[in-house]
Structure 1
């Protein structure tokens, strides 16, 4: 991080660098840094023109959380050595990649996000879940309802555009974006989706029924997940892995496609790199071939 800050302040002195408080504390020698506090979320869309992330995929989810109250600027993501589906650049390429992103042209992939809002059984906002509005929280990967520490399977009624789709009896139920299809949804047995697909993926987590599989829904509809009045315990509501609150009988969460996607800057050369990544990172459809046979030995 120190080398990145040094490069930016030396070569681009006209730029205003906004950092979180812990970054400023860790690098006190850079006096020209502007600190972004936890209560500045509503100001970020107005004063930020590009975001740099350094680390794993979790840093991209963190950016989505920071820009939860408005449009997200283009995001330039760098890997610090770990593999990640959302990290097209290695940190070693930062000087060249940043210069290209700053002066363009660049390819941008608009990764769809979800807007998620919890409600009481009477239809009012569920304020005990924290700071929430009708616009909802912004979700990059998935919204999850899970039985958590409770011993009983959760029972969730799923609705699509106010039509009852199914009653899920399972450890949990999650609704993911195409970007999130390679995260929790994939671990729960869901399919892999191209990030540009206009879809919502409804995936059960350890369902009681063996016939319950992922349902792929049109991206323009609205999904409501409601705790059944037959549920024996509440369910934990989580957003991109962050536990928010518990939902009780007849309480629900309404999820729709957000009007604010996350524009992610891609590697030059066209395309999203997705085809390459599912092969190199997930080893998609790689067969179990004996190495000695593959090399021509018997």
Structure 2
């Protein structure tokens, strides 16, 4: 009798419809941590996102590893900034032999120029970050049409958060006296922020950290601080602090804190997400300039 019951149960279970298999997450590799955060917000559970340059890394001068080549080889999508930021990337893609679709997220952004160079730091303007996010959404939908509704919903929710963040930054800047809206930062990473929000940034280094500031550049910065009465200099999380410390000592301009320019922090740090990064930076700026 027991054996008959087991047989009947087996037959009945066999007649039940098979449970739908969840698709494997789409493999997405981002060139650096800020783009990885955007991709996670858009992709949600349907994507598995990794970053080549991790938290605290400098994407300008990064040296890829064999593990990076494997990541690229296994990826379906490779999310990159472009505008000359990842000069090391084309060789990595070629050596990996992978067939990932390359998504350049600055498509559609009005590019700033610093001399003959394009300024790649477009994410420092929150309205530009929204363009990054929609480009990622469109690439994910093209790669995984079945997830289109999920990607659209995730993007709409995240864009609403970015709209609120943009308003937050504008309100904070409005509390800074106009004559105080001038700072010194290590390299020219905040040009898009300056254009969007009206704080002037002066930097001894150009748009990349791969070249050192000359003695003439440093002397010019020191002269500008004295003439314009610039109240504060800021360190950057990816740069050696000694140059800014020297400029502060020679001018009397206070060190206003550390700004996050090209990299997020680890999960337990001050800026583990893009939104956290922007909030940290504006809090540092208003704290140093708003008096």
TM-score bucket of the superposed structures, by smaller chain: under 0.3
Largest Rg, 1 or 2:
2
**What TM-score, normalized to structure 2?**
0.25
**What TM-score, normalized to structure 1?**
0.25
* More helix by percentage: 2
